[in-house]
Amino acid sequence: MLWVDKYRPKTLDQVIVHQDIAQNLKKLVPPPIYSFLLLSAFAFLWALWFWQKTLIMALLRQIFGTSAEKVKVENRTWKIDAGSRTIDLELTTLSSTNHVELSPSDVGFQDRYIVQEIIKEMAKNRLIDTKGRKGYKVLVLNEVDKLSREAQHSLRRTMEKYSTSCRLILCCNSSSKVTEAIRSRCLNVRINAPKEEQIVKVLEFIGKKEGLQLPPGFAARVADKSNRSLRRAILSLETCRVQQYPFTSNQAIPPMDWEEYVSEISADIMREQSPKRLFQVRGKLYELLINCIPPEIVLKRLLSELLKKLDEELKHEVCHWAAYYEHRMRLGQKAIFHLEAFVAKFMSIYKGFLIATFG
Amino acid sequence: MLWIIEPLASRCAKFRFKLLSEEIMSSRILHICYEEGLTRDAEALSTLSSILQGDLRRDITYLQGGARLFGSSISSKDLISVSGAILLEVTEALYAACKSGDFDLVNKEVNNVIAEGYPVSQMLAQLFEVVVEADDISDEQKACICKSLATADKAGLGITKPKSNNIQQPIPNEPTRP
């Protein structure tokens, strides 16, 4: 078992990093009538994603006891009658007896139907517990910020109408994408990325549990490399453990493969600015994309790699263009065009700068 | 109003609802606090009305959330954390970094803001207020900055999703610009 999963906190009391948030969440048990929870976390997509999930699972466990841990994954097709035609939607849900988790934004522009029909259906059915009291269901919706406007408006209506039988936990990466109407009905919980000291604390905790000898400064170095992502820090600690144990204080911490690859690309770009090189870079970018690295992440990483080597006066301009192409990338469909356009733009700026400086 | 066609509008009686004034809101809130046995300091009250800008329902939701989480006495900091607003110090720090003109400093500050998970739109709105109220920059500079803030806001909130670099856009605060 990976350490990440082994030391994943199961209950709210075991949480080390966001203790204050965990304590606050505990006060929400049992959930009051109004409680729609909006958990928002930004950036470091995968890492915080994992953390949100951890907190939510711990909260559910706190509410429903251990039954919340018995989850099953279901892939269902829903038939939805939309006026003149019927639409088939396929959606994966993760459910236990008391809660259902789903990502309505997976179905793309038809997410409205999911909210209007499926969530309504789930919210309508009330649970009755063994003592005959009326229970409630918890719906966990992922990626609310990716929902379309219409879907968010329908969600608001659903929230109000079925608030007696159903509690919602909404997860998003940025609450600025969630409409004001939904935000104002929710209790906002902001989850920040753990600070480096906190990561060090967790690493030391794991080290103690595993009976490892951590040389001084080693945990700090792992934390520093992790970009404030706890999951990644734990994973790289485990990688180091596999590579070489006992640890030496100057042991190299292996970087992620794709990051290595991006810095290779950036080195290529810096070395030569020509159509031929652009063609080679395109091949490498394709390589990254077919390995399912999200294009936004590639661009962000490429930018930060390039910024490291740039002169002060160019940084601002390059950053501006990165933002420009990033925006267009989200508007468009094919990410490779925009990545390549950014590389071309960068080459032209850099070449111009070199010519102006050295003639 | 603008989206209702003239033939329809001409057949209707029009009522205008303004945003609630601060006095009305605070008296209502005080009433609720009294009924629920809550205490909140004067600072919390003024903080809240500055975040809310005339939305009473939001105010009450936050009050309820705050009461649930932090018990019956609520400070302004608790309210800020419930409402998702950003502490003034954080905005000020970012603003100071932008003014320094040092790219790496700004980059570090922006990364920090992102890692802390503050909502971008809120950040831009608060930054806007700081810029408007600042005394040490000229009106023309303010106009330039506001324009780039608007661009960043549009990029973040349109059909696309907000992204880190959008905050980095309004940086060109070079004081020399005419």
pLDDT digits (tens, 9 = 90+) for A147-161: 777 888 888 877 777
Partner-chain contact B160 A331, CB within 8 Å:
yes
Question: What residues of chain B lie within 8 A of the CB of A296, using their CB?
Answer: 163
Q: What is the pLDDT of residue B169?
A: 43
SS3 A252: coil
Separation of alpha carbons A148 and A105, rounded Å? 8
Higher pLDDT, A146 or B166: A146
Lowest-pLDDT range of A212-216, A353-357, B173-177: B173-177
Higher pLDDT, A196 or A164: A196
Partner-chain contact B164 A43, CB within 8 Å:
yes
Asked whether residue A142 carries a pLDDT value surpassing 50, the answer given is: yes
Partner-chain contact A316 B172, CB within 8 Å:
yes
Partner-chain contact B163 A146, CB within 8 Å:
no
A161-165, B91-95, B98-102 — most confident range: B91-95
Partner-chain contact A176 B114, CB within 8 Å:
no
Question: What pLDDT band is residue A346 in, cutting at 50, 70 and 90?
Answer: very high
Separation of alpha carbons B48 and B61, rounded Å? 12
Scanning A190-249 for CB atoms below 8 A from B yields: 190-193, 228
Asked whether residue A91 carries a pLDDT value surpassing 70, the answer given is: yes
In this prediction, what percent of chain A has a pLDDT beyond 90? Answer: 8
DSSP conformation letters of A320-353: HHHHHHHHHHHHSS-HHHHHHHHHHHHHHHHHHH
Partner-chain contact A327 B160, CB within 8 Å:
yes
Question: What residues of chain B lie within 8 A of the CB of A228, using their CB?
Answer: 115
| Domains of chain B by residue range | 22-83, 88-156
What is the nearest CA distance from B169 to chain A, expressed in angstroms?
6
Rounded mean pLDDT, A219-240: 79
Separation of alpha carbons B178 and B174, rounded Å? 10
Rounded mean pLDDT, A318-347: 88
A168 pairs with which residues across the strands? A36, A139
Q: What is the pLDDT of residue A347?
A: 92
Partner-chain contact B117 A43, CB within 8 Å:
yes
Partner-chain contact A34 B161, CB within 8 Å:
no
> CA of B123: which chain A residue's CA is closest?
A176
Per CATH, the number for A3-191 is: 3.40.50.300
Partner-chain contact B162 A177, CB within 8 Å:
yes
In this prediction, what percent of chain B has a pLDDT beyond 90? Answer: 0
| Domains of chain A by residue range | 3-191, 196-243, 257-358
Asked whether residue A60 carries a pLDDT value surpassing 90, the answer given is: no
pTM of the predicted protein model = 0.74
**Is B22-83 in CATH node 1.10.8.60?**
yes
Taking the Cβ of residue A50 and every Cβ of chain B, the question of whether any pair is shorter than 8 Å is answered with no
Q: What is the pLDDT of residue A345?
A: 93
Question: What pLDDT band is residue B162 in, cutting at 50, 70 and 90?
Answer: very low
ipTM reported for the complex, 2 dp:
0.71
Lowest-pLDDT range of A155-159, A240-244, B19-23, B51-55: B51-55
Question: What residues of chain A lie within 8 A of the CB of B107, using their CB?
Answer: 307
Question: What residues of chain B lie within 8 A of the CB of A187, using their CB?
Answer: 61, 65, 68-69, 82
Q: What is the pLDDT of residue A53?
A: 74
Q: What is the pLDDT of residue B142?
A: 83
> CA of B98: which chain A residue's CA is closest?
A316
Partner-chain contact A192 B81, CB within 8 Å:
no
Q: What is the pLDDT of residue A48?
A: 53
pLDDT in tens, B73-97: 667 777 777 666 777 788 888 888 8
Contact (Cβ atoms closer than 8 angstroms) between residue A255 and residue A222: no
- Tokens representing A83 are 């006026």
Rounded mean pLDDT, A162-184: 75
Question: What residues of chain A lie within 8 A of the CB of B147, using their CB?
Answer: none
Decide which of 1.10.3720.10, 1.20.272.10, 1.20.1070.10, 3.10.290.10 is the CATH code for A257-358: 1.20.272.10
Separation of alpha carbons A338 and A328, rounded Å? 7
Q: What is the pLDDT of residue A279?
A: 92
Q: What is the pLDDT of residue A130?
A: 58
What is the nearest CA distance from B65 to chain A, expressed in angstroms?
6
